[in-house]
Amino acid sequence: MEITIIEAESPLEKKVILHNPQTGEKVVILPEIGAALVELELICDHVLIPIVHIPGEKSIHENTLYPSALLTPWVNRVRNGNYSFEGRNFQLPINEVKLGNAIHGFLARKPFEIFEQKCTHELAEISFIHQHNGDFQGFPFPFIFTLTYRLTKDGAFSVQFACKNTGNSQMPFACGWHPYFKIAHAEISQLEIKFSPILKYISDAQMIPMAEEISSISMPVRFSETTLDHVFKLEKQRDHLTELTDNHSKISLFLKQNTFEFPYLVVFVPPSENCVAIEPMTGNTDAFNTGDGLKVLSPNEEFTSLVEIWVDKANMG
């Protein structure tokens, strides 16, 4: 296994590559842009399958679709950018001007530093950290966030999310991840998805949940017949699987999350793109106001959870 760091004239173009020279599988990360995952190729039936997509025309650091973004310390939207915590009111910057919300936290495009790396015959693993000193408007709570990417020689890929409260008071916290997945060159009409929701949330004009309903969606959802753009609450499972399948090649992408730690999932198909956003989240949209899934970290407390991804032949049963 190999780890390669490629410097560039522009810091934004610096790349870190995890690579299996035996299979060609690789992971490409941009440390200076939120340690974002921009390429992931895994092998199935001796064929390399690219599975991460960057939608839209703008470069990743300007892309309003937030591809592969780390969403923290809040996920999705905070209504009007305003919330109260432990008797104090806070106003976040409004960065979704059209709807009047604060959206997707503030680490999505922040620079991360390489913290640790490990490379053996069995795996390549690298950790990136960002230290927040509490100087962000409306979020005066310091923390350290660590993202750890791992690729094994068997073609398993994982991302570990870790946030430690480094302040002296309690801290409101939520975390999510915003990757867009494809399966090689499959059209969106070839793709279908299976997961295990128990609730679906209905949004208002500000894209904030205003109601919930028991999920009655039949699985699999075929994108040739319908589309999705919802937050779902998932069944409680330590190993919840979301399966995205190309009906032509019969190849599936599997995403595993622990729904005791990541109980929510957004599934979103952007217009005119052959990809699906599959977004594990610890809390619901506007959790800073509703408390729905909100975590409160005590001083020195750390949240940690893992998302695992692999490709294989589809489970057609």
What is the rounded average pLDDT of the residues 267-277?
94
pLDDT band at 22 (very low <50, low <70, confident <90, very high): very high
Closest CA to 130 of 108, 109, 113: 113
Torsion angle of the four alpha carbons 103, 39, 29, 154, in this order, in degrees rounded to the nearest 10: 120
Q: What are the tens digits of pLDDT across the range 24-51?
A: 999 999 999 999 999 999 999 899 999 9
Beta bridge partners of residue 252, listed in sequence order = 245, 312
Banded pLDDT at 314 (limits 50, 70, 90): confident
Residue 57 has pLDDT above 80, yes or no: no
| Residue 316 confidence (pLDDT) | 60
Q: Which amino acid is at 203?
A: S
What integer pLDDT is reported at residue 61 of this predicted model? Answer: 80
Count of other CB atoms within 10 angstroms of residue 7: 8
Residue 69 CB neighbour total at 10 angstroms: 23
Domains in the chain, start-ordered, CATH in brackets?
2-180+260-313 (2.70.98.10)
- Can you give the pLDDT at residue 12? 87
Q: Report residue 257's pLDDT band, with 50, 70 and 90 as the boundaries.
A: very high
Instruction: Kindly report, residue by residue over 74-85, the tens digit of the pLDDT.
Output: 999 999 999 999
Task: For residue range 96-135, list pLDDT tens digits in order.
Answer: 999 999 999 999 999 999 999 999 999 999 999 999 999 9
**What is the value of pTM for the model shown?**
0.96
Is 80 exceeded by the pLDDT of residue 317? no
Please, are residues 244 and 256 in contact by the beta-carbon 8 Å criterion? no
What average pLDDT is seen over the chain?
95
Q: 45 vs 88, which has greater pLDDT? A: 88
Euclidean distance between CA atoms 106 and 266, whole angstroms: 19
- Can you give the pLDDT at residue 172? 98
| Residue 67 confidence (pLDDT) above 80 | yes
Q: What is the pLDDT of residue 219?
A: 94
45-60: average pLDDT: 89
Per-residue model confidence as pLDDT tens digits over 209-224:
999 899 989 999 999 9
What would the pLDDT profile of 131-184 be if each residue is shown by its tens digit?
Answer: 999 999 999 999 999 999 999 999 999 999 999 999 999 999 999 999 999 999
Does the structure show a pLDDT above 90 at 246? yes
